[in-house]
Structure 1
Amino acid sequence: MLPAVEISDLNDNPSSNRIFIIGGGIVGASLAYFLSREDNDRQVILVDKYLDKLSGSTGYAPGFVGQYNESPVLTSLAKDTVSEYIKVPDGFQVVGGLELSSTSEGVENLHRRKEAAQSSGLPAEIISPEVAASLAPDFIDADSVKAGLRFSSDGTANARQIASYYIREAQAKGVQLVEAEVTGFATEGHQMTTINSRSGDITLNGSIVILATVPIIPVAHPYTFTPSRPARSGTPYPFIRWLDHHVYARDHGDRDGLGSYDHPPMQADPTQSAMGLWPPSFEHVLSEATSHLKNRDQFLVKGPSDDPDEKRPFNGIFAVTPDNLPLAGRVPGVSNMWLCAAIWVTTAAGTAKLISRQILGGDEQRSSGDEALLKALDPARFQDIEEDVLVKQALAKYNDIYNRDPN
C-alpha cells in the first residue's frame, strides 16, 4: 500500500474534479476500483479511519455469497457481484450453497425457490438427504432432513482479500488514500462544502462525496467456531443454510464456523469496530443452533476469552434496513453527495459498479436495468417515515434475513 496523502496537501491543491469515498471496507474499496478502472479525468480519494486494518463489518464477514434472493433486485446485484469476485486472485471460491429443510412445508418452499432461481438464470437443483449429507458429511445427518436445494454457482468470498486487492489495483491507477476519522460534514445551500475529520477539515470545492459506510440500523449477531483442525481433503464443503432454524455453517479451512439468526433482534451501538459486546443470551442461541449439525459437540458456545489469538464466539455487528435492500444513489437535497451502503458482501461489488456507472456518466456505461435498480435502492424511499417506525421495520427484518418475503 502506498503512503497516505496528507489533508494539507489536498487543501493546497484544490480541485472540483475529485471524488471522495468515505469508508475503506469492501464497498469503498470496490468503488475506488471501479471508478479508477475507467478512463476518465477524475481524481479518486479514499478516506478511512484505519488504512492498515478492516475494523468494520468487512473484517468479520463470514463470506457467504448466495446469489438467489426472492428480491429480484438483490439477485441482480449478487450475480453482478460474483462476476467480479471470481476475477480476484484467491478472492472467491465456488463451493456451492446448500439449503436444507426437515419439514414438508419447508420442502415445498425449496421447490418454489428452485423454480424461481432457475427462472433468474441461476443453476439450482433439489437433492435427496443422502446426497446432501455426502456433500458435507461432518455437518449433515441424512436422517435429520427431508431435502436439500443446491446452488452450484454460489460460494464463499474472502472479503479481506477482495478489499485489499481492489485498493492495490486502485492505487496503481492513481487513487489516493487519506487516513482520517470523519466526524461530520458542512454544507452551504444544496452542496456539501467540507468533510470534517479529527485530522483536519477537507475542503471540497464542488467535489463529489460518496458515503460507503453508513450506520443504518446496526444489530448484534452471534458467530462461532470449532477449534482448529487439519484442513479436510477432497471436494470443499458447500456453505449450508438450515432455513427452518435460521442457522448457517461453513468450512473455513482450518476450522468450521456457524451463525444463527434465531433470536430476537438486538439493536447494537458499535464504536471502534464491528465487533460488539457479548450478550450472555447468545450462548443459549448457539447451543440451540449447533444442535442441528452432526458435529454439534465440536462447536464452542461460550463467549470471548482473554486470548486475542483464540477464535471464540463473537458478536459480529452488521447493518439492516427496513426492506433489506442497500441504500445507493444521490442524497436528496445535496447535489454532490451519494450513498453506497451495500449492507452485504454478497451485493458489495454489484452496488459499487452501479453507483460508479452513474457518477462517471455516459449512456455507454449504464446498463439497461440501472434505472429500476436505482429506484429500488433510492435513499429517499424512507424520507417521510418516522425514525422509530424505520427502526422497528429494520429490526423485524433480522429474523427473515434470507428475505423469503419479497414484500
Structure 2
Amino acid sequence: MVREVVVIGAGIVGVSLARELAGLAGIRVTVLERDPGEPRGSTTYAPGFVGLYNDAPILTELARASANVYEKADTGFTRAGGLELATSAAGAAEVERRAEAARAAGLPAALLAPGELPGPVTGFVDTEQVVAAAHYPDDGAAVPPLLTAVLRAEAAALGARFVSGQAVTGIERGSGTTYVTTDSGERFAADDVVLTGGVWGPSLAGLTGLDLPLFPVAHPYAYSAAGARLSAGPFVRWPEHHVYARVHDDRLGIGSYDHPPVLVGQATLAEGASLAWAEDFAPVITSAQRLLRADARFEPEQLVNGVFAMTPDNLPFLGPHPTLPGVWIAQAIWVTHAAGAASRLAGALAHDAAPPPELAVDRFDAHHHDDLRTAALRLYRDIYANDAV
C-alpha cells in the first residue's frame, strides 16, 4: 500500500523533505506551494550563510548534515568558509570561546591574527578595528533560490509532485486520513501532512488547532552595486555588533540585528516574506557599515526587508503534532539546518526514528503565549543564543 504524504510549503525545508521522502519505497509525496509563480517565502530572500557551529549541539548536527547534502548538489553552495571577528577584548574572548567549543565538537576552527585574514575579506573589512578572528573552513555560503531549485529537481526526479497556487485553507483529520483543502477548491487526502510553511507557520498551525509560538520578524539586508574589486571568500560575522556580511558574486551584502525587533503579523505577509523597506532600518545599515573599510562603504543599490520566524529558544520545531495524529511540524528552520532537519523528520515519519527531543513541538506548553513572544523577541539581537525560556 502506498503511503500518501502531503507537504505544505515549497521553500528549502519542504523541498528537502520531499527529496528525502520521495526516495523511500512505498511513499508518494505531493508538495503544495502557496505561490503560483515565483516563490515569495523566506528562502528567496535569505542571504545564504551556512555556519556549522552552534552552542546547541542539535543545531551543529543539523548544520553539518545540511552542508553535506548541499555540497553534493554541486550548484548553489560552496564551502566558502566563515569568519567571526572581534573589535574588543570582550568580543575576542567570545570569539575564542566559540572557536574552542567548535573544535571540541569536531569542527575545524583556527584563530587568526588580524594580519592573517584572507585577501577577499580584507577587500571590505576594516582590519584596523579587528583584534581577534576565528576561521571556520567548513562553513558554507549558499544561493538559496538556486540551491532550492536543484533540490526540488532532485525531488521531482524521484517522483515528488509539486502543485502550485495552493494556499491552504483547511486541515482536518477523519477516519485515519488527513484532508487538506486549498483556496483553489481542491482537496488532498493524505496519510501524513507536514507543515513546512515558514513565516506562515502560525496560520497553518492554527488550522490544526495549535497555537504555535512562532513569531515572524522583519530584518534588514542591503546590497551594494556591482564592484569589480570584490571577490568571493568567507562570509564574515561580527558577533558583538550583531552584523554580518558576504560577497555575492560581484556585490557586497551586509545585514544587522542591532535594532529593536519588529514583529510581523500574518496579515502583513499576504504578498510574501519581503516587505516594503522601513526607513527605520536605514540608520541600522549605515551603522553596520562602520565595520567596513571606508572605501568599501556603499549607498545600497538594493534593500531587502526580509521576514523570518523566531522561537522562544532559537530552536526549530521538528516532530509530530502534539494532538493530531498524522500531522507533523517542521517550522522555524533556516537554510543552515534545512536538509539535516528534513532527514531527521523523514526518519521519524517513515521509520519511527525518534525526532530530536529538544525540538519537540509541545516543549512550551507550560508557558503563556505572551511570555513566549517576549522571550523570542529578546533573542532577536543574538540569534545564536539558546534557552531564553
Question: What TM-score do the two structures reach when normalised by structure 2?
Answer: 0.90
Write the deviation string for residues 143-202 of structure 1: whole angstroms up to 9, x where unpaired: 211010100110101211221112111111211121233333243569663212111141
Quick one: which amino acid aligns to residue 28 of structure 1?
Answer: G
- Measured after TM superposition, the shift of residue 384 of structure 1 is 3.0
1:317 aligns with 2:307: yes
Alignment of 1:119-138 (within 5 A): 119-132=104-117, 134-138=119-123
Alignment of 1:99-248 (within 5 A): 99-132=84-117, 134-188=119-173, 193-204=178-189, 207-213=191-197, 214-215=201-202, 216-230=214-228, 232=230, 236-248=232-244
Distance (whole Å) between structure 2 residues aligned to residue 374 and residue 82 of structure 1: 19
1:332 aligns with 2:322: yes
Distance (whole Å) between structure 2 residues aligned to residue 159 and residue 256 of structure 1: 16
Which range moves more in the overlay, 44-53 or 145-154?
A: 44-53
User: In structure 2, which of residues 368, 382, 385 is the aligned counterpart of residue 400 of structure 1?
Assistant: 382
1:35 aligns with 2:21: yes
Q: Show structure 1 runs of 5+ residues with no match.
A: 1-14, 302-310
Distance (whole Å) between structure 2 residues aligned to residue 231 and residue 336 of structure 1: 53
User: In structure 2, which of residues 251, 255, 264 is the aligned counterpart of residue 255 of structure 1?
Assistant: 251
- Measured after TM superposition, the shift of residue 219 of structure 1 is 0.3
- Measured after TM superposition, the shift of residue 107 of structure 1 is 1.1
Write the deviation string for residues 219-267 of structure 1: whole angstroms up to 9, x where unpaired: 011000111123745xx32100011211100000121000000001110
Distance (whole Å) between structure 2 residues aligned to residue 341 and residue 191 of structure 1: 24
CA RMSD in angstroms comes to: 2.1
1:89 aligns with 2:74: yes
Which range moves more in the overlay, 165-174 or 283-292?
A: 165-174
Q: Show structure 2 runs of 5+ residues with no match.
A: 203-213
Distance (whole Å) between structure 1 residues aligned to residue 302 and residue 230 of structure 2: 21
- Measured after TM superposition, the shift of residue 47 of structure 1 is 0.5
Check the 8 A contact 1:191/1:334 in 2, yes or no: no
Quick one: which amino acid aligns to residue 227 of structure 2?
Answer: R
Q: Residue 306 of structure 1 corresponds to which residue in structure 2?
A: none
Write the deviation string for residues 114-157 of structure 1: whole angstroms up to 9, x where unpaired: 11100111000110011126451122232211010100110101
Check the 8 A contact 1:124/1:150 in 2, yes or no: yes
Distance (whole Å) between structure 2 residues aligned to residue 403 and residue 144 of structure 1: 25
1:80 aligns with 2:65: yes
The number of residues matched between the two structures is 372
1:48 aligns with 2:33: yes
User: In structure 1, which of residues 360, 368, 379 is the aligned counterpart of residue 361 of structure 2?
Assistant: 379
Distance (whole Å) between structure 1 residues aligned to residue 224 and residue 348 of structure 2: 44
1:98 aligns with 2:83: yes
C-alpha distance 143-112 of structure 1, shift in aligned 2 (>3 A): same
Aligned-residue identity in percent: 37
C-alpha distance 74-313 of structure 1, shift in aligned 2 (>3 A): same
Distance (whole Å) between structure 2 residues aligned to residue 209 and residue 314 of structure 1: 32
Q: Residue 343 of structure 2 corresponds to which residue in structure 1?
A: 353
Question: What TM-score do the two structures reach when normalised by structure 1?
Answer: 0.86
C-alpha distance 296-275 of structure 1, shift in aligned 2 (>3 A): farther
Check the 8 A contact 2:230/2:251 in 1, yes or no: no
- Measured after TM superposition, the shift of residue 312 of structure 1 is 1.4
Distance (whole Å) between structure 2 residues aligned to residue 360 and residue 22 of structure 1: 17
C-alpha distance 190-394 of structure 1, shift in aligned 2 (>3 A): farther
**Secondary structure in 2 aligned to 1:153?**
coil
C-alpha distance 203-93 of structure 1, shift in aligned 2 (>3 A): closer
- Measured after TM superposition, the shift of residue 405 of structure 1 is 7.1
C-alpha distance 208-136 of structure 1, shift in aligned 2 (>3 A): same
Check the 8 A contact 1:94/1:153 in 2, yes or no: yes
**Secondary structure in 2 aligned to 1:108?**
helix
**Secondary structure in 2 aligned to 1:382?**
coil
1:64 aligns with 2:64: no
Distance (whole Å) between structure 1 residues aligned to residue 346 and residue 295 of structure 2: 44
**Secondary structure in 2 aligned to 1:130?**
helix
Quick one: which amino acid aligns to residue 377 of structure 1?
Answer: L
Distance (whole Å) between structure 1 residues aligned to residue 374 and residue 129 of structure 2: 35
Quick one: which amino acid aligns to residue 191 of structure 2?
Answer: S
Distance (whole Å) between structure 2 residues aligned to residue 110 and residue 398 of structure 1: 19
Pick the structure with greater CA Rg. 1
- Measured after TM superposition, the shift of residue 89 of structure 1 is 2.0
